Amino acid sequence: MRYPISIQTFATIRNGNYVYVDKTDLVYRLAQEHVCFLSRPRRFGKSLLISTLDAYFSGRRELFRGLKMEALEDKWDVYPVFRIDFAKGRFDLAGELEKVLEEYVSSWETIYGKSDIYTTLSSRFQYVLEQAAARTGHQAVILIDEYDKPLLDVLEEDLENVNHSILKDFYGTFKAADASLRFVLLTGVTKFSKITVFSGFNQPNDISMDSRYDAICGITEDELYSVFGEAISEMASKLNYTVETMKAELKKQYDGYHFSNALLDVYNPFSIINAFNKMDIDNYWYKSGTPTFLVKLLEGHHVNMQKLTSRPYESQYFVDYRADAENPLAMLYQSGYLTIKGYDRHYGENTLDYPNVEVRKGFVTLMAEANKCCS
């Protein structure tokens, strides 16, 4: 098997004959929505999802041959796709956010035209969307990856309010241009609804805890065994395990994420493909990088994880963003250090805990890093 290590482009995976876990039935279902928001921890396949939607709405039928999508779609209309990726920007630098947005809008204006009447970023973007719909005969598609990075980069800094204001105004375009929009998806780690970043347009449909989309990012146990059965056997042979013992080790190390009260087991995809690529068990997810915003939030604080996980919570306490070092529950959940472990339907309450061994070990290292300054 060829494993797509550090590859987040759907076309590259398909054309390069890399192993691909077919999520295109869920992609098709998602594409029937209008304006959506999806939160998942880092390295969980959000960028690949964005790339897959881009290919679908761009009518690239050849990339979906042999996949579930092929039996679901028969029109393959080509929509104008506007894709924004905030992953590479340094938004702790003054003017960087405006610069990045200006580059995107200017590039689209070269394709769909520019009007001297409109001078602000938001009004120019609205004009581009309207022109794209008029010229192509199809409404526009907007895909935004890591929408929250311009805010996470500047938490509790002077630029936080500046970046927030810019994004609020820019996202307000979606409401003004609604008639020109076929589909909008924003992905990120955190949900900033409580600080009104979305207040400029109609609240998106938050599918982060929608059980229909539990498996849209990540790998389920059925997918693991059906797609990676050969790799599991090979790893078991190398490590001198039985296949069943190998499955149990992978489950203990990388499984345990639950994104709704349906409690569907989801494995960390980044760790799984790295484990099979190297044929070894290791803490791949944590070693791939520490969330800077979480380190800054927890700096100098001791988090009593046993206390945090010893009581049940309604989902409102951990789904919406809260930058509170004294009560870091929401940020730990959204960052992937905690997940839902149980649900009491009668009381509507969830219990939380570490997803797996890899995350538990990673959290110990995270706290050590966050408290270096105080040692």
| Closest C-alpha to 47, from 15, 77, 4 | 4
Here the tokens at position 133 are 């719909």
pTM for the whole structure: 0.94
> What b-and-e string marks burial along 37-74, b requiring 16 or more CB atoms within 10 Å of the CB?
bbbbbbbbbbbbbbbbbbbbbbebeebbeebebeeebe
Evaluate whether 29 touches 219 at the Cβ level (below 8 Å): no
Specify the pairing of strand 81-85 against strand 35-39.
Answer: unpaired
pLDDT per residue as tens, the chain (375 positions): 899 999 999 999 999 999 999 999 999 999 999 999 999 999 999 999 999 999 999 999 999 999 999 999 999 999 999 999 998 888 989 999 999 999 999 999 999 999 999 999 999 999 999 999 999 999 999 999 999 899 888 877 789 889 988 998 898 888 889 999 999 999 998 876 544 566 655 678 899 999 999 999 999 999 999 999 999 999 999 999 999 999 999 999 999 999 999 999 999 999 999 999 999 999 999 888 777 777 777 776 778 888 889 999 998 888 876 666 567 888 889 889 999 999 999 999 999 999 999 999 988 888 877 676 555
Contacts of 303 (CB under 8 A, 6+ apart): 328, 332, 367
> DSSP letter string over 219-268?
EEHHHHHHHSHHHHHHHHHHHT--HHHHHHHHHHHH--B--STT---EE-
